[in-house]
Structure 1
Amino acid sequence: MEEFEKVLSDFFFLVSTFCYDKAKEMLEKERVTNRLKKSFFMQLLIFCEAEKTYYNLGFLSTKTKIFVNLRKDSSLRAMYDGLRIELHRLEGLPSPSSDPVAQAIEKTVTPIANQLCHFSTARLQLIDLYEKIYNLGIGTKHIKYDDLMSQVGAITQMHVLPHPLIASIRSCITWECESLMHCLGAQCRIEEYTMMPVLMHLHTAHNRLLQWEKSIQVKESWKIGFLKSQYQPLLFQWLGRLRNHLVNKFTLYFYSTLTQQSTMQDVMSHINSKNNTDLYVKLRNLHKRTIGCTVALMFDPRGLTGWKDPGYVHPGRSVENPPDQYVVMLSHPVKITERIPGICRALDCRTAERISPEKTYFFYNSEEKCSYVLWSIEPRVSLVVSTEGKRDDKTNVAQFAEFCAHVRGTPILASLKPSK
């Protein structure tokens, strides 16, 4: 009996470390010994293939070729749904055998089947969530990240998997959900331009991904000298890219604060790191290409309860009402004091329907004789390019719009669907 439990524990461990072929081999050996009845064996086999497809972002594909002969609807959603139904059926079947060993095995299988039912339901909910994130990424509206974050939290609370034999896959889904939830949390707080909460979310997301990566490294890998082959599924890679993007966005939004609280060498060290996409440098280069322009990131704190400034505010310190005007987050050239009134007026002249990601808003101030081009990056964050005189040409507008989309992060969300 202990040997059977060890086999199940090893099987789930292999699945959690993405060793799907070895997990199938183990199932085949157990099937030969007749300790695994055919129905449960088939469900574990489907579970193994479903996990492989899921972690390789197969949930955005309508079909998967592996089980086309086993199921009429071979989508990943159908696989998990069928798995949930069959496991629920197995969970309620009494053992027909009077053999004590067979009955003991049945007593082990029943709670495992129950736990995998919850696991499959959680997977179905996560598939819905990722599909929603992808559709929002290719959409044209600002995303309500708070709602996405709440959905992830609800999934982790609803499907608790306490059985020790499936501890390995429980850890995987926990690391996945928590890293995603804290990335979404970082995005929510970035939109509010508050530095410390963003840092805490990014730090926690990094720790969860690091724990997950260490568990992956347990699996066997081949080595030739210093070369090492290590398989990381597409979903794990996507979560890492999402976290790296948020770190880069954090560096851009809080660049002024970071340069005041750390050395320029440390800031530039991060900007030049391999995971950074140089958002600050990209913005500076765009500014150079547009002759005689001023580029500014502007934040609107109005109506944001308790906001004082982007830096740390001690909890015991009284917070005044937020400023009643826009705040300059970053600008090139540095001194734009004389342009701030005009920028604020241009921002206020936008109608509600023009404050959307896909809109480029042009505004000419006849009194100042100054032209403004505006893009909405977040609901409260805008990029403003201003130039002297009336400019009818739209030079570099497409490049600025592309930059805003990159900062917004929608290409990362859209990359959930792998390119063919």
Structure 2
Amino acid sequence: MRQWVSFEDLVMMCEEIMKENIKKFHHPLLGPIRTVFSYECESLCHLMQAQILMSMWSYLSCVMQLHEAHTKLNSWAAMIPSKEVKSAFGARSTKTQIFPPLHSWLTKFKAILLSKFGLYFYDVLAKQTMPSLLKANLSKTSEDFVGKIHTFQKKSDAQCIYLVLESQGLNSQVKEGGYHHPKKYMEKPQGMETYPPIFAYPVDRIVNPAHWPNIVMMMNSSAHQGDKLKVFYDKASDKRPQTSYFIIRVDPHIWLVSIFDSKKSEKDSTINSFMTDMALQLRCHTVLASLKSFSKS
């Protein structure tokens, strides 16, 4: 597994690059280049800010950053001239836009963030639309994470899959993803409530609080072990059979947990592949790694 990416540091670097260089386009003929440079930096900063806010489970602020990035990318796209492409066999030529590699990559970055947004704020979105419509919209995203979880749950016979928020250290209110009036008083969560499940699958199954002591124990014991997948087995009791827990941190404050009502091998390839692949994608490591291929374009 790769090391963590500090998006906070990247935002600071991007803002510094823009601040230092934007004033160098002083000649009027450089106006279009200055505008494109501004769109490049601003859209990237907004996307990285959205990633940071998403990892803190801050719904409304994240929406605003995604919207700003979308607006900047559209404004940049409007400046790209269309080129005439001749079809084969004497057919009519058509006009098409050929986007710069950086614009294409930023669009890809935005797409993965929208996919991630649909997973992290699934419950918030579900309250605003019909379940069938939400499912249809999520299936159109570049990575249907909810669909992937559904497939994994059926294939592995997992009892449940959770995304758990570690709210300690977060300044914003965490209930409802911070989607409430900032002046509305809300009591700070205490005890186990500081580790709320922000997503649970199957979505129609009641969250089992009996698992939470084990989940919290694993989160705390794995806090200093980087991004490795951890496995824990709980002995059978009168209340439940032997349970297997697989847990991995996918963001600084968010953990992915898969629970099974039987003893699963810690080397189970299906479980390991799902957990590690989900972690890489949710951390945006996969899309960042794709920069290498775009740089060669």
TM-score (ref. length: structure 2): 0.85
Aligned 8 A contact 1:287 1:293 in 2? yes
Aligned 8 A contact 1:245 1:276 in 2? yes
Cross-structure match for 1:128: none
1:306 aligns with 2:175: no
Q: 2:212 aligns with which of 314, 338, 341?
A: 341
Distance, in Å, in 2 between the alignment partners of 1:198 and 1:326 is 21
Cross-structure match for 2:156: 290
Distance, in Å, in 2 between the alignment partners of 1:201 and 1:323 is 30
Cross-structure match for 1:365: 234
Any runs of at least 4 consecutive aligned residues in structure 1 with deviations exceeding 4 A, and if so which?
Answer: 223-227
Q: Structure 1: state its 5+ residue gaps.
A: 1-138
Cross-structure match for 1:352: 223
Q: Where does 1:270-419 land on structure 2 (aligned, <5 Å)?
A: 270-273=137-140, 275-309=141-175, 310-324=177-191, 325-333=194-202, 334-354=205-225, 356-357=226-227, 359-366=228-235, 369-392=242-265, 394-395=267-268, 396=270, 397-418=272-293
User: Which has the larger displacement, 295-304 or 155-164?
Assistant: 155-164
Aligned 8 A contact 1:346 1:363 in 2? no
Deviations 1:222-242 (A, max 9, x none): 366584332212111101000
SS in 2 for 1:320: coil
Deviations 1:87-137 (A, max 9, x none): xxxxxxxxxxxxxxxxxxxxxxxxxxxxxxxxxxxxxxxxxxxxxxxxxxx
Give the deviation of 1:400 after TM superposition: 2.4
Aligned 8 A contact 1:296 1:332 in 2? yes
Aligned 8 A contact 2:248 2:256 in 1? yes
Aligned length: 278
Cross-structure match for 1:187: 51
Choose between structure 1 and 2 for higher RCO, CA contacts under 8 A separated by at least 6 residues.
2
Give the deviation of 1:265 after TM superposition: 4.2
Distance, in Å, in 1 between the alignment partners of 2:113 and 2:124 is 16
Cross-structure match for 2:10: 148
| Alpha-carbon spacing, 1:215–1:372, altered in 2? closer, same or farther (3 Å) | same
Distance, in Å, in 2 between the alignment partners of 1:204 and 1:252 is 21
Cross-structure match for 1:66: none
Q: Where does 1:258-277 land on structure 2 (aligned, <5 Å)?
A: 258-273=125-140, 275-277=141-143
The RMSD of aligned alpha carbons is 2.2
| Alpha-carbon spacing, 1:292–1:399, altered in 2? closer, same or farther (3 Å) | closer
AA at the equivalent of 1:168: P
Aligned 8 A contact 2:280 2:286 in 1? yes
Distance, in Å, in 2 between the alignment partners of 1:191 and 1:308 is 11
Cross-structure match for 2:76: 212
Distance, in Å, in 2 between the alignment partners of 1:294 and 1:320 is 29
Give the deviation of 1:298 after TM superposition: 0.8
Deviations 1:159-212 (A, max 9, x none): 223432211000110000000000000000001001001100000000000001
Deviations 1:212-270 (A, max 9, x none): 11100x34433665843322121111010001110110001111110012233442342
Cross-structure match for 1:236: 103
User: Which has the larger displacement, 316-325 or 234-243?
Assistant: 316-325
SS in 2 for 1:376: strand
AA at the equivalent of 1:199: V
Give the deviation of 1:335 after TM superposition: 1.8
Give the deviation of 1:343 after TM superposition: 4.3
Aligned 8 A contact 1:191 1:379 in 2? yes
Deviations 1:284-331 (A, max 9, x none): 111111124321111110121232310412122234334443110111
Distance, in Å, in 2 between the alignment partners of 1:227 and 1:221 is 6
Q: Structure 2: state its 5+ residue gaps.
A: none
SS in 2 for 1:261: coil
TM-score (ref. length: structure 1): 0.62
SS in 1 for 2:97: coil
| Alpha-carbon spacing, 1:226–1:246, altered in 2? closer, same or farther (3 Å) | farther
AA at the equivalent of 1:335: I
Give the deviation of 1:157 after TM superposition: 1.8
Give the percent of matched residue pairs that are identical in Structure 1 and Structure 2. Answer: 26
SS in 2 for 1:200: helix
Aligned 8 A contact 1:254 1:329 in 2? yes
AA at the equivalent of 2:283: R
Q: Where does 1:19-34 land on structure 2 (aligned, <5 Å)?
A: none
| Alpha-carbon spacing, 1:343–1:262, altered in 2? closer, same or farther (3 Å) | farther
SS in 2 for 1:208: helix
Cross-structure match for 1:203: 67
AA at the equivalent of 1:140: R
Q: Where does 1:79-90 land on structure 2 (aligned, <5 Å)?
A: none
Distance, in Å, in 2 between the alignment partners of 1:170 and 1:193 is 34
Q: 1:221 aligns with which of 79, 84, 89?
A: 84
